[in-house]
Chains A and B, each alone.
Chain A
Amino acid sequence: MNARPARPQRTHRSGPRPPSLAGNLWTLAALLLLLVLSAGSALLRLGPFNEVANLGIAAVKALLVLTVFMRLKTDNALLRIVASTGFAWLAVLIALSLADVLTRQPLLAPW
């Protein structure tokens, strides 16, 4: 008597729509442009900003691949959480390791 109403049968077609061809090709163009920018900026004398530019551009490229090619922008929100978890733990790993190395002081033997 309290039978659940049958859920409508969903198929792949009811999932996120495939991204447009132009969207994919523009993303590739942006990635290649960022690659040229990255190689070019590495040859300029920018001091510590060389590293900022190198890693900043790499992060933007990775975000483009994650959001457009891997469809995190349109897919299930749970996938975005799982994806960010991997990178968040990596940030913790690197931050804590650096905190150790950068603040370690040689201790003299107490005898």
Chain B
Amino acid sequence: MSARTHPVPEQFDDPVQQREAATLGMWAFLATEVLFFGVLFAGYTLCRVMFPEAFAEGSRHTDMLLGTIETAVLLTSSCAVALSVREVQLGGRRAATAMLALTAALGIAFLVMHGFEYYAEYREGLIPAIRYTQQGVYARGMEIFYCLYYFITLFHSLHVTVGVLLLGVMAWRTWHRAFDQDYHTPLELTALYWHLVDIVWIFVYPLIYLVGRSG
């Protein structure tokens, strides 16, 4: 399908109104996503208020270096997808496709690094209900920390996986000239989704990896 012949559905006055409706809908969805992860963050906050030392101890068992690299990877991927939208707006199909492929590759790199983290935690016996071998005064509180850690990071990784698939589809469609300066709303919405996944991780990073590091 060529973007130049993309018809505006009859309920819209023009392509700008169509785009406004689509981005408004996407932002409403993103607000629900904020609250979806927000419930997990609220649970984290309450449990941390009740078990501050155990959460600091749990956080010290996470891999801070890998967490920092993962954050840098996601931040870079966010910039790459923002540049891909910019390129499409300027008519650069090849560069836009390359940027989308780079974003998807960075997303996959993130997932692989997280997989290594999960494996290390499995070996260390830090997975509640599956393999949890911690002893000591903080063992029970740390179990709550790791429950929240797995809920938050697994849901986040699920979002990254969906994002990578969407980015792959967008790269394919961009390469096949589905988007141009006049029509690129699906690409814009995918980029918004990817940025939100990045924002969630921006808050996961200090709450999971940086607690009690100075102690």
Task: Show the binding face of A for B, using Cβ within 8 Å.
Answer: 7, 9-15, 18-19, 21, 24-25, 27-28, 31-32, 35, 38-39, 42-46, 50, 54-55, 57-58, 61-62, 65-66, 68-70, 75-76, 78-79, 82-83, 85-87, 89-90, 93-94, 97-98, 101-102
In the complex, what distance in Å separates the CA atom of A89 from the CA atom of B15? 32
Contacts of B76 in A (CB 8 A): 28, 32
Contact sample, A vs B, 18 pairs, CB 8 Å cutoff:
A11-B14, A11-B15, A12-B15, A15-B19, A24-B79, A24-B82, A38-B210, A39-B64, A54-B206, A65-B198, A65-B202, A69-B81, A82-B31, A86-B30, A89-B31, A93-B35, A97-B42, A101-B50
Q: B27 contacts A83, CB within 8 Å?
A: yes
Counting from the closest, the 4 A-B pairs by CB-CB distance are A86-B31, A54-B206, A86-B34, A90-B38
Whether, in the assembled complex, B85 has its beta carbon less than 8 Å from a beta carbon of chain A, the answer is yes
Bound CA–CA A5/B85 (angstroms): 34
A12 touching B199, Cβ below 8 Å: no
Residues from chain B with Cβ under 8 Å of A28 in the complex: 75-76, 78-79
Determine the chain B residues whose CB is within 8 A of the CB of A46 once the complex forms: 214
Q: Does B41 contact A (CB under 8 A)?
A: yes
CB of B130 within 8 Å of the partner chain: no
The one of B17, B35, B205 that contacts A38, using a Cβ cutoff of 8 Å: B205
Further 16 A-B residue pairs, CB within 8 A, beyond A9-B14, A69-B82, A69-B191: A11-B14, A11-B182, A13-B182, A15-B16, A19-B82, A32-B76, A44-B214, A50-B214, A54-B211, A58-B202, A58-B203, A65-B78, A85-B31, A86-B33, A89-B34, A90-B35
Q: Chain A nearest CB: distance from B148 CB in Å? A: 14
